[in-house]
């Protein structure tokens, strides 16, 4: 054999090289599993936030609808509760209306007994029930407002009540 032989010697493979590759694969799978778990957690948090926002948006829209009805005709004083019917079967409401005399500081006016000068305080809560047996509903909207008999009606309320003609 010459010193310049073209035959190359391959290094011998050790038995432990295969085990080292298996360990690398296990570590890579663990890292991949953690990454997938993080992405799935973010996805579920996003879905729950989306559901919560949908419940709140529908609740506020239903509360606005009730308040517009109260502008046309104020319901009786006191506490009352109800549901929104088959259109919104998971939503219910609770309302408390009380009459409060307006105090005019420094103004000489005789408004005693004048129903037009009174203010009506309204507390309206819209609930979302997950199912029929839900004992702890979610508060979808909670509104505190006040009306007077001289309340400025919204455009939609004026159209419904016929206070001015539709053009």
Beta carbons of 150 and 117 less than 8 angstroms apart? no
Residue 94 confidence (pLDDT) above 80: yes
Residue 27: helix, strand or coil by DSSP?
Answer: helix
Per-residue pLDDT of 54-72, as tens digits, reads 999 999 999 999 988 887 7
Could you tell me the two tokens for 120?
A: 């009506």
Reference 62, options 41, 38, 83; nearest CA is 83
Could you tell me the two tokens for 163?
A: 């206070």
**Domain ranges across the chain:** 17-161
Residue 97 confidence (pLDDT) above 70: yes
Q: What are phi and psi of 100, to 5 degrees?
A: -135, 130
pLDDT confidence of residue 167 = 47
Reference 94, options 134, 41, 144, 29; nearest CA is 144
pLDDT confidence of residue 58 = 95
Could you tell me the two tokens for 155?
A: 């455009």
Mean pLDDT of the region 128-136: 83
* Radius of gyration of the chain measured on its C-alpha atoms: 35
CATH homologous superfamily, domain 17-161:
GSPII I/J protein-like (3.30.1300.30)
pTM greater than the 0.75 cutoff: no
- CA 131, 133, 138, 139 dihedral sign is positive
- CA 144, 153, 148, 79 dihedral sign is negative
Q: From CA 167, how far away is CA 162, in angstroms rounded?
A: 12
Per-residue pLDDT of 23-56, as tens digits, reads 888 999 999 999 999 999 999 999 999 999 999 9
């Amino acid at each position: 054999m010459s010193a310049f032989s073209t035959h190359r010697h391959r290094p011998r493979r050790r038995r432990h090289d295969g085990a080292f590759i298996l360990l690398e694969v296990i570590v890579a799978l663990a890292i991949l599993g953690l990454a997938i778990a993080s992405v799935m957690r973010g996805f579920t948090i996003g879905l729950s936030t989306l559901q919560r926002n949908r419940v709140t948006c529908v609740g506020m829209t239903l509360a606005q609808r009730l308040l517009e009805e109260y502008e046309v005709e104020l319901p009786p004083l006191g506490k009352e509760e109800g549901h929104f019917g088959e259109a919104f079967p998971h939503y219910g409401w609770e309302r408390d209306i009380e009459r409060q005399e307006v105090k005019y500081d420094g103004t000489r006016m005789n408004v005693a007994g004048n129903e037009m000068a009174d203010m009506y305080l309204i507390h309206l809560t819209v609930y979302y029930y997950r199912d029929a047996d839900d004992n702890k509903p979610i508060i979808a909207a909670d509104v505190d407002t006040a009306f007077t008999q001289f309340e400025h009606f919204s455009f939609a309320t004026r159209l419904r009540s016929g206070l001015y003609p539709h053009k």
